[in-house]
Amino acid sequence: SRFHKYNAAEGSSNQSTKLDTVKERHVAGVILARGGSNGIPLQNIKLLAGVPLIGWVIRAAIDSDVFDSLWVSTDHDEIERVAKKWGAKVHRRSAEVSKDTTSSLETIQEFCRMNPEVDIICNIQATSPCLHPHHLIQAVEMVTKQGYDSVFSVDRRHHFRWQEVTKGEGPDTKALNLNPAKRPRRQDWPGELCENKSFYIATKKLIDEGVLQGGKMAYFEMPAEYSIDIDNDIDWPVAEQKVLRFGYFGKDKPELVRLLLCNVLGCLTDGQISLSANGDERVSVNSRDLDGITMLQRKGTEVILLTSSENPTLGRLTDKLSQKTGCVVMSLNEPKQVEVEKLMKEKKLEWKEVAYIGNDATDVDCLSLAGLSAVPLDTSAMALIAAKYRCQSTAGHGAVREFCEHILHSLQPHVNMINI
């Protein structure tokens, strides 16, 4: 048989391993991201768990270290900007292959014509945010080392299928993959392999012939928890929970966050100061944010509240916050990075052990350096670019709680359900 299987659960999961690929053959990763999607508008750059959807697969592809070049094929300016920010090159596709009726194969064929140096193409789906580097490493190796012409990803599903009955054909249907008189238990049935649409790898020769799957073929089986494909808004909340547990957060993902630094103004508060009838100034905080701080503290993470304002109202607030949460309050002058690094030296910490939530240009350096960093939804453009996570909540309305939950989720070990 010319058809072969590869089970990802049985392969190596060393994400740092670089393949000894055949250097004469140029391996390109290509992510298709058209602006005029018929599903969710601009879904490829919509934030999923604080990261643009396309950012998840770009990060995994770059860290796999198996591609001589990595491209996003798009017809949209904003998608191009996001793709470059995350480290991909951009293939600006023509209008001829940007239509609703254009197939993926036609777009890839245009890419190949414009990049003749490419020998092997890995078409990575932007809508597969739980893809990890080791999946790509193992699958690309099947082409570069084991001699396959095309490899595509699948997962195992346990769905009983029935023949569809259309109008005028009568009421009867029949089972397609089971005997109804002897319905198997799930644990007694291996299920069926279905494409999960995470990636398709093919040689340029096959693509020139008009196929993505052909020649000596193989499938690459991915565990079900890493298989997700987003088609509509209903999928989004489910995908968000799944990616927080099984997504790839990068090579530098911290194993332990020992310290969270949190701006009071613009993160814990929404920046508004209200005046009472007698002229008293008041600032409010959200109890959910305080609960998030408490959750981290219970897990052993120290939380320090940061302020740089001499406003007496804010001073009274930070005193109350310190009493309520047990957090130390620090007043930082600019540049913040210098003072934060002094604090880290005293506590014998590295940046990868520090989480930081800020909201302004003065936070940019710390946001860039911290192991985990975040900004509220309503933050400045400079801070947003530097942060690793963008909260879906605004300042003073749950952003700190959301980031605390993100920290706890990202530090959880990823369980492979197949190996339980």
User: Which amino acids are annotated catalytic?
Assistant: 183
Q: How would you classify the pairing of strands 47-48 and 51-52?
A: antiparallel
Work out the angle between the directed axes of helices 77-85 and 53-64 (0-180°, nearest 10).
40
> DSSP H helical segments within 145-266, as ranges?
204-208, 235-246
* Cα–Cα dist 64/61, whole Å: 5
Q: How would you classify the pairing of strands 259-263 and 354-357?
A: parallel
Strand, coil or helix: 148 = coil
Q: Are 265 and 271 within 8 A, CB to CB?
A: yes
Write the CA distances from 174 to 167, 254, 296, 374, integer angstroms: 16, 52, 54, 53
Q: Are 262 and 361 within 8 A, CB to CB?
A: no
Q: How would you classify the pairing of strands 89-92 and 51-52?
A: unpaired
Q: What is the dihedral of CA 137, 141, 143, 146, to 10 degrees?
A: -160
What is the number of residues in the chain?
A: 420
* Cα–Cα dist 8/2, whole Å: 20
- Closest of 34, 24, 36 to residue 54, by C-alpha: 34
Q: Are 240 and 333 within 8 A, CB to CB?
A: no
Q: Are 42 and 78 within 8 A, CB to CB?
A: yes
Q: Are 375 and 356 within 8 A, CB to CB?
A: no
Sign of CA dihedral 71, 73, 75, 76: negative
Phi, psi of 404 (to 5 degrees): -60, -40
* Cα–Cα dist 263/374, whole Å: 11
Place of tokens 């590869």: 6
